[in-house]
Amino acid sequence: MKLVRNLNELPTTLRGGAVSIGNFDGVHQGHARIVETLHAQAAAVGGPSIVFTFDPHPVRLLRPNEVPPPLTWSDRKADLIRELDVDGMVVYPTDEKLLALTPQEFFRQIVVEQLGARAMVEGPNFFFGKDRAGDIEVLRSLCAASDITLEVVQPLTVGTEYVSSSRIRRLIETGDVGQAAEMLTRPYRIRGMVTHGAGRGAKLGFPTANIDAIDTILPAIGVYAGWAFFGNERWPAAVNIGPNPTFGEDRLKVEAHLIGYAGSLYGQPLEVDFLARVRETRRFASVEELQQQLASDVREVEHRTSRFET
Fold type of domain 187-305: Elongation Factor Tu (Ef-tu); domain 3 (2.40.30)
Q: 209 with 228: CB under 8 angstroms? A: yes
pLDDT tens-digit profile of 136-194? 999 999 999 999 999 999 999 998 899 999 999 999 999 999 999 999 999 999 999 99
CB atoms within 10 A of CB 238: 26
Position 238 scores a pLDDT of: 97
pLDDT tens-digit profile of 276-307? 999 998 888 888 888 999 999 999 999 999 87
pTM of the complete model: 0.92
Position 302 scores a pLDDT of: 95
Give the HSE-up count for residue 177: Cα atoms under 13 Å, Cβ half-sphere. Answer: 29
Fold type of domain 2-158: Rossmann fold (3.40.50)
pLDDT tens-digit profile of 185-213? 999 999 999 998 766 666 566 889 999 99
Q: 138 with 102: CB under 8 angstroms? A: no
Confidence of residue 254 (pLDDT cuts 50, 70, 90): very high
Q: 249 with 272: CB under 8 angstroms? A: no
The domain locations on the chain are 2-158, 187-305
Position 199 scores a pLDDT of: 62
Q: Is it true that 2-158 and 187-305 share their CATH fold?
A: no
Residues 6+ apart with CB under 8 A from 253: 197, 210, 240, 241, 242, 243, 244
